[in-house]
Amino acid sequence: MPLLIVDDSESSLLALETAVRGFAGCEVESFTNPLEALARCREVDFDVVLVDYLMPEMNGIEMIRRLRRQPGYEDVPVVMITSQAKRAVRLEALEAGATDFLAKPFDPLELQARVLNLMALHRAQLALADRAKSLDMAFRHATEQADMREQEIIWCLAQAMASRDGNTGDHIERVANIAELIAEGLGLDRIQRRNIYLAAPLHDIGKIAIPDAILQKPGKLDRHEIERMREHVPIGVAILANSSAELSRVATAIIAGHHEKWDGSGYPKGLSGDAIPIEARIVAVADVFEALCSDRPYKQAWPIERAYEEIIACSGSHFDPACVAAFRRKWPAIRALFEHGADEDHSMAVSNG
């Protein structure tokens, strides 16, 4: 293990080197100039540093202070060698980052014992750090695998629902992407954006209990059919009711609120303004826009620019103005989603209800 000694006295340096060179596996480097020693520390990771207190260019306390600021030397054991017995000097050295002290003139056996103990301590610290790093990597890998499985399950459920509604998975994927872009435009953090992206595909999961005759009806729904269609909201909420996971909470908020309107004219509760969860307000914009741009049994897809104008026109009535403003800021990226898939089948739209 590499060991560094810094002392401006050639005789002291020789005595220190002689005392420690007998250690098995110990590689000693010594300097009389603390600036040169600091420069060497940027090249080599020393396991223990011995530094004299009184030196001409800078004292040992200042060297320790600078050493602690160098990457990799935050926890390396540092022994201050000094003839000073003053309490103030020792306190200042401890505040600068000294690990231990050795009095001059030193006892070679005491020096060897202290250095050996500090080396063992540092080895243990490094081993713990490596173990913590390995555990962290294993945890991250397990989390990534769990996230992938979670996303696959969500996508499978959402695509199953989309196929019942007579569509491919394009709609749910675009709704998720648009919702994430709007969330980004609103300044939501990475975890919030990810949860919205993953939960958005479940917004219509309650339609799994709605009859095909209503879901795929080519004409306008009558009053009874509209009421039946609207039941997909409480059904979807009930599906996730027993889950305490954060993603389920976000999905439930989206399911429950994506048909509410900013002005209070939506359903099922007639919520308005900020009483509607932000996740639902975001997905409402994404869902309606994608629906307008998609073919449905009862309508043809709107041109993308016309759909864009409709979203802007409904700011403050159907939609949260802040969400619409974020939608406008992210418009180039949102439009690119549709231009990229212009030759693909556009899918699943907003419900007839």
- The least confident of 14-28, 147-161, 243-257 is 147-161
Name, in order, each residue with C-beta under 8 angstroms of 11's C-beta and a sequence gap of 6 or more. Answer: none
Residue 295 or residue 335, greater confidence: 335
Q: What is the 3-state secondary structure (H, E, C) of 91-109?
A: HHHHHHCCCEEEECCCCHH
Question: Is residue 232 classed as helix, strand or coil in its secondary structure?
Answer: helix
Whole-angstrom CA distances from 151 to 49, 115, 148, 199, 237 are 50, 53, 5, 9, 19
Confidence class for position 212, pLDDT limits 50, 70, 90: confident
φ, ψ dihedrals at 315, nearest 5°: -65, 130
d(CA 91, CA 81): 14
Task: Decide if 347 contacts 170 (C-beta within 8 A).
Answer: yes
Q: What is the pLDDT of residues 156-200, one digit of tens each?
A: 777 766 666 655 567 788 999 999 999 999 999 999 999 999 999
Name, in order, each residue with C-beta under 8 angstroms of 248's C-beta and a sequence gap of 6 or more. Answer: 240
Residue 109 or residue 176, greater confidence: 176
Tokens 């005759």, located at residue: 213
Average pLDDT taken over every residue of the chain: 85
205 pLDDT exceeds 50? Answer: yes
Residue 215 in tokens = 């879901």
348 pLDDT exceeds 50? Answer: no
Residue 227 in tokens = 């009421």
252 pLDDT exceeds 80? Answer: yes
Global pTM value: 0.59
- Angle (deg, nearest 10), helices 321-329 and 170-185: 100
Single out the residue of 61, 16, 59, 67 nearest to residue 39, CA to CA: 67
Give the model's pLDDT for residue 162: 67
In the chain, the amino acid numbered 152 is E
Question: Is residue 21 classed as helix, strand or coil in its secondary structure?
Answer: coil
Question: Is residue 212 classed as helix, strand or coil in its secondary structure?
Answer: helix
d(CA 35, CA 267): 73
Give the model's pLDDT for residue 248: 86
